[in-house]
Structure 1
């Protein structure tokens, strides 16, 4: 199967008026389709449910983006049953045929790119550049995992002994449950689902209830790409209604999850229990967030450091598990860096991403009213714990779930400096020296991303060895991991070190076998 070498999808240039015109046309087109209903899809058949999920535009909560089915345990049981039945055939298809479906899905996603961006703007509240980056990432996952499956299709080479032939190969696992987050509803949902599918598994795909319309569009793209009925079963629903059932069922072979630490630990606990008729130990692939730090020492390029702190802290309103939530500044440059960070943050434009000038918006809303209330609570806590050097009190959520970029100068034990906020709130902490800064950065149960700005080679090499995070970046921002270039995933309470977009990811969805023949 001949393929061109893998290359990351390029981001759109918003200074190009042709791209701006296409985006405005897509917003108009998708805007005319808002409010429609989307059923669950089980075994290729639309399934209506008694309840529904109403998705709203977080920048304008009065605007209904769409309605999706709200599955119950009845539909979850049906989806698991269909996926179990479809596995027998799908697991026997060739890796080449499965890879072709991913490549077709990538081509469809490229063709529908502006439409997907518009859905991201309306349902996710994303500024145009953020929407584009994660749709490009979804395309990358499809292209990369297709090639990875072809690389692994014949197994991997192992050592041999005289008189015997040993083969080490992979086979599909079974039925997987995909539980996706709302912050990257195209990219992460596509990535987790495509990895499970291309390795020969069947899935029950549950998007976040806050972005379930985008989930329906992603499921539609897989169907358009030729995925057989029953391989992907689209099951929108509330986690509180169907999450435990899907994870705990004996038919479930593995769970792929991205979300909060609390939910991830709950999934891990449920998956560890053996129940009647369960014939395997369930596998959990989990990415569970972070409290990510950027360390700036006294040798750093302070202008670049300040710009990247702001970019990493406030991209998509801080709603990235990789977002910079802590800036740990060497005492000798603390005041200067903080001043530059404030200057950069004050220049950010807060606005409505769906407006015609959406290409110039830097900060949009947070995703939902519950998230708005959560972030607002942390803002209140921060005002009690430290000095708020930037930011205003959140307004009325009826006018959109907007929280302005906020900075607190706090001690390292402050609540806002310890807990994951998932909003545009940055804690700035003073460190005595580099040793103290690295200690503070590592003083967290999480271990997802981190960064160091320094021209001191000894400091960088020490951070390379000792910074406790799955993705560590030197002299750049800490968000925006590229598929195939910067495999993404953390350890500690940040997850199972699954490294999405890397060479070790697909084997997590397969069973490894060693077959030995003596001559």
Structure 2
């Protein structure tokens, strides 16, 4: 590998402007290229072996249910154990590879992904149902994660910037950050490239080896990432790819005595189960497992009477319906001060009605939800909403040969209502009224989650109060509550939103390492 001698400043990958004809043409060409590759079969990666199994996960296009994106081999408990043994073996050599050399694999992978950016985005369009902009942002974030964590690993490895220690005459004292061991990465469907790649490479560049279990509904994009890492020459066994059943494969690996850490992104229910299972010490286990979990949210936008109401309404709609509300940061509720409530509600309703539902391939603003199960769950919450609030727009399935649901807005919802308290993970927005701005913040805080929030106001004293009292990991003032950028907005939340791991932040890699103090008496 090439040696990195100097770290250039980190800069976020730019988003593509699809209003420019040349970018639009390039994206259409990428979609056409990927379309010809749909339906391929993908193996498991265990050590140096590529294993094809009879049992496969069939990934379909959620925007066109008749289109098969790919067929991915499924792991078993036997294969999961094989992956664990390969990861354990690879760890013994990988942990000795210098941080600079480990980082170089990430730099090379980021460069190749940048060259094929539209192609990776096209896979996201077909497999996850993202429109062009959402897919482009997902790919850009994956590139950012790889470059940011590579630079951060080099920074942590430099003795001059290690944790400063109090000087003791006659002693040489140092802290170094060493890897943990074998980690299990369980990634989500909603950012199937960015979060999957980011959590995986953070562990790998820190010197750990990984067993990757991607979301059942988006395994192909994970397979494409694994192919990329193989292409850049990542040693076999460092990254093992084993999709499979959540209990047979996922829970087996979570409970395995040789598992050192679990990095999970997904629902509160599954996250709590993993946390519980990981807490048990099994025979042969000589450590307490570390759990890094991001488990969702019930995020909201608060608007007071001093706010720019047009900007607030636009942010509410963007936060609620970007990627069909399938973001842990999605603003699925808004709390609006009574004196401007009707005006904001009217603006939100009109903006929502203007959203077109259609094929992601054709870059419709609103596409499908991920699968049949998600659609049924969301539609059941819409029926609950019809009893709990006033339906202003949407409320039904939308046309199309996919899992399409109309963007739905409910007004006059009680703060204690289910659609104000429970994570729906779909295109459903609940609006509540508050007597004043302080009550609005109290309503916002009345949730078991604490991931993202937004506050719209022009009053600096109120903003200061909101900054102190709105209890969430990522709080945005006069802007939408989605769209965190790597290195700019370290991401993670409080309470049942997870362990506040702050992905894309300057202390994230510490979660994949352990600090070792060495003290030497000098002559």
Instruction: Check whether TM > 0.5.
Output: yes
In structure 2, the residue matched to 1:75 is 79
The answer to whether structure 1 residue 495 and structure 2 residue 516 are counterparts is no
In structure 2, the residue matched to 1:168 is 175
In structure 2, the residue matched to 1:404 is 406
Give the secondary-structure state (helix, strand or coil) at the position aligned to 2:217: helix
Q: How does 1:253-272 map to 2 (within 5 A)?
A: 253-272=260-279
The CA deviation string for residues 187-243 of structure 1, in whole angstroms up to 9 with x for no partner, is 001100010000000000111010000010011111112110000001111213311
The answer to whether structure 1 residue 131 and structure 2 residue 135 are counterparts is yes
How far off its partner does 1:289 sit?
0.1
Could you tell me how far apart the structure 1 residues matched to 2:403 and 2:245 are? 21
Contact in 1 for aligned 2:357/2:398 (Cα 8 Å): no
Could you tell me how far apart the structure 2 residues matched to 1:518 and 1:474 are? 52
How far off its partner does 1:395 sit?
4.8
The answer to whether structure 1 residue 233 and structure 2 residue 240 are counterparts is yes
Moved more, 43-52 or 280-289: 43-52
The CA deviation string for residues 443-476 of structure 1, in whole angstroms up to 9 with x for no partner, is 0010100010001111111111111100000000
User: What stretches of structure 2 of length at least 5 have no aligned partner?
Assistant: none
Could you tell me how far apart the structure 1 residues matched to 2:24 and 2:516 are? 51
Could you tell me how far apart the structure 2 residues matched to 1:339 and 1:366 are? 26
Give the secondary-structure state (helix, strand or coil) at the position aligned to 1:328: strand
In structure 1, the residue matched to 2:471 is 468
Report the number of matched residues: 514
Could you tell me how far apart the structure 1 residues matched to 2:147 and 2:19 are? 27
1:447 to 450, 453, 456: 450
The answer to whether structure 1 residue 47 and structure 2 residue 41 are counterparts is no
Given the two structures, how large is their TM-score scaled by the length of structure 2?
0.97
Give the secondary-structure state (helix, strand or coil) at the position aligned to 1:399: coil
How far off its partner does 1:374 sit?
0.5
User: What stretches of structure 1 of length at least 5 have no aligned partner?
Assistant: none
Q: How does 1:2-81 map to 2 (within 5 A)?
A: 2-81=6-85
The CA deviation string for residues 120-172 of structure 1, in whole angstroms up to 9 with x for no partner, is 00000000000000100000000100010011003332222222221111001
Given the two structures, how large is their TM-score scaled by the length of structure 1?
0.98
How far off its partner does 1:61 sit?
0.8
In structure 1, the residue matched to 2:116 is 112
Could you tell me how far apart the structure 2 residues matched to 1:395 and 1:315 are? 16
The answer to whether structure 1 residue 147 and structure 2 residue 151 are counterparts is yes
Could you tell me how far apart the structure 2 residues matched to 1:44 and 1:346 are? 52
The answer to whether structure 1 residue 181 and structure 2 residue 184 are counterparts is no
Give the secondary-structure state (helix, strand or coil) at the position aligned to 1:354: helix
How far off its partner does 1:34 sit?
0.7
The CA deviation string for residues 238-279 of structure 1, in whole angstroms up to 9 with x for no partner, is 213311101000110000000000100111101100000001
Could you tell me how far apart the structure 1 residues matched to 2:285 and 2:251 are? 16
Q: Note closer, same or farther for the CA distance 1:344–1:392 as it changes in structure 2 (3 Å cut).
A: same
CA RMSD after TM alignment = 1.0
Contact in 2 for aligned 1:44/1:233 (Cα 8 Å): no
Moved more, 406-415 or 182-191: 406-415
Could you tell me how far apart the structure 1 residues matched to 2:453 and 2:315 are? 12
Could you tell me how far apart the structure 1 residues matched to 2:232 and 2:314 are? 41
Give the secondary-structure state (helix, strand or coil) at the position aligned to 2:358: coil
Contact in 1 for aligned 2:398/2:406 (Cα 8 Å): no
Contact in 1 for aligned 2:382/2:395 (Cα 8 Å): no
Could you tell me how far apart the structure 2 residues matched to 1:62 and 1:363 are? 19
